[in-house]
Structure 1
Amino acid sequence: MKKTKYLTQAAMIAALYVVLVEVFKPFSYGIMQVRIAEVLTVLPFFTPAAIPGLTVGALVSNIIGPYGILDIVFGSLATLIAAYLSYKMPKKVLVPIPPILVNAVIIGAMLYYIFLGTPDEMGLLPIMGWVGLGQLIACYGLGYPLMSILEKYKKNIFS
């Protein structure tokens, strides 16, 4: 029963992540992005099933996304690292920090490499800053209020 619940939660989180990326696709990719699906990166606070759920959701989204193998590998890896670190955060207020920092660095570096030598080329640090800002909006601006709402219902949803 416990394993079934874990797998069900992970699958639902993965599916919701993919749906949110696709519905908000114009905002989900690029140097200046606010990936609304990243609101879900606070879910490791409630359940470890969010770690594989977010990772698989990001993997599927990146497979159908515009950046190919680089995003499939590095985007999914960034999500896995961030979700695990969020799960390990000792205080609620710290939970959104790993997705912000990990994505700013890994996705920022990946996008810098992808856009190198194009008319849209920016420096590495500005790209990392833009990715970090988008993550800040998604994770603290949207994700932190979601955490407060979910805390009221966590026994019904996650136990």
Structure 2
Amino acid sequence: MKRLDTGFLVQGAVIAAIYVALTVLFAPISFGPIQFRVSEALCVLPYFTLAAVPGVSAGCLLGNILGGAPLPDILFGSLATLLGALLSYRLRSVSRWLVCVPPILTNALIIPLVLRYAYGVPDMLPYLALTVGIGELLAVAGLGNLLLLALLPNRTQIFGKADASADRPRVFPR
């Protein structure tokens, strides 16, 4: 069995901590049927490193717990983030612009069900999907792509050389 690299663990933990801090700091707009979760911008980080997958997932889990979310939101919200992050990591070799698509879609599809059944929000599911999708679009595609562009010039210093060649085209799937 291969040992986990310390750098991988540290990167994942730092990403999780930043996600939690942003979720708690912006708690008034991070929860509810119309939400803008600033921390979701970090969902583009799987473009740079696999450590971002458990990082954003654990961050979402802890952020939901600390934000007082009900159990279904803690579980299914975190699973939506995990699924989005995994798919983003897989798409990183296709195009850096595609890494923002999976988190937007997984959250727009899963979170409306959470809002309806965990929070009792009476709005129709298509409306909830639209509001969550718009919030995700602004956070992930908007802020996330700005973050991605800001990190690109220094990606090897920040994330190491292992995943630094992520933008090199490869045949999909890997």
Which TM-score applies when normalising by structure 2?
A: 0.86
Q: Would you say 1:110 and 2:114 are equivalent positions? A: yes
CA deviation map 1:88-129 (0-9, x unaligned): 11210101000100001111111022344xxx5210110011
1:92 aligns with one of 93, 96, 99: 96
Cα-to-partner distance string for 1:21-64 (whole Å, 9 max, x where unaligned): 01111110000001000000000000000000011101101112
* Amino acid aligned to 1:143: G
Query: What is the aligned-residue identity percentage?
Result: 45
| Alignment correspondent of 1:123 | 124
Among 36, 47, 50, the residue aligned to 2:49? 47
Name structure 2 gaps, 5 residues minimum.
161-174
Structure having the larger proportion of residues in helix: 1
Q: Which moved more, 1:25-34 or 1:56-65?
A: 56-65
CA separation in 1, counterparts of 2:30 and 2:133?
13
Residue 20, structure 1, aligned to residue 13, structure 2:
no
Residue 2 to residue 64, structure 1, CA distance change in 2 (3 Å): closer
When structure 1 is superposed on structure 2, of 147-156 and 66-75 the one drifting more is: 66-75
Contact 2:83 / 2:106 at 8 angstroms: preserved in 1? yes
1:67-91 deviation per Cα after TM superposition (whole angstroms, max 9, x unaligned): 3110111011111100000101121
Counterpart in the other structure of 1:149? 150
SS of equivalent to 1:38 = helix
The amino acid across from 1:132 in the alignment is G
Per the TM alignment, residue 140 of structure 1 is displaced from its structure 2 partner at its CA by 1.0
C-alpha distance in structure 1 between counterparts of 2:101 and 2:151, whole Å: 18
Kept in 1, the 8 Å contact 2:24–2:67? The answer is no
Q: CA deviation at 1:11?
A: 0.2
Displaced runs of 4+ in structure 1, greater than 4 A? none
For 1:7 and 1:115, the matched residues in 2 are separated by 34
Q: 2:24, 2:66 within 8 Å by CA — same for their partners in 1?
A: no
**What is the count of residue pairs matched by the alignment?**
156
Q: What aligned pairs does 1:58-77 form with structure 2 within 5 A after superposition?
A: 58-77=60-79
CA shift for structure 1 position 2 = 7.2
CA distance in 2, matches of 1:109, 1:142: 25
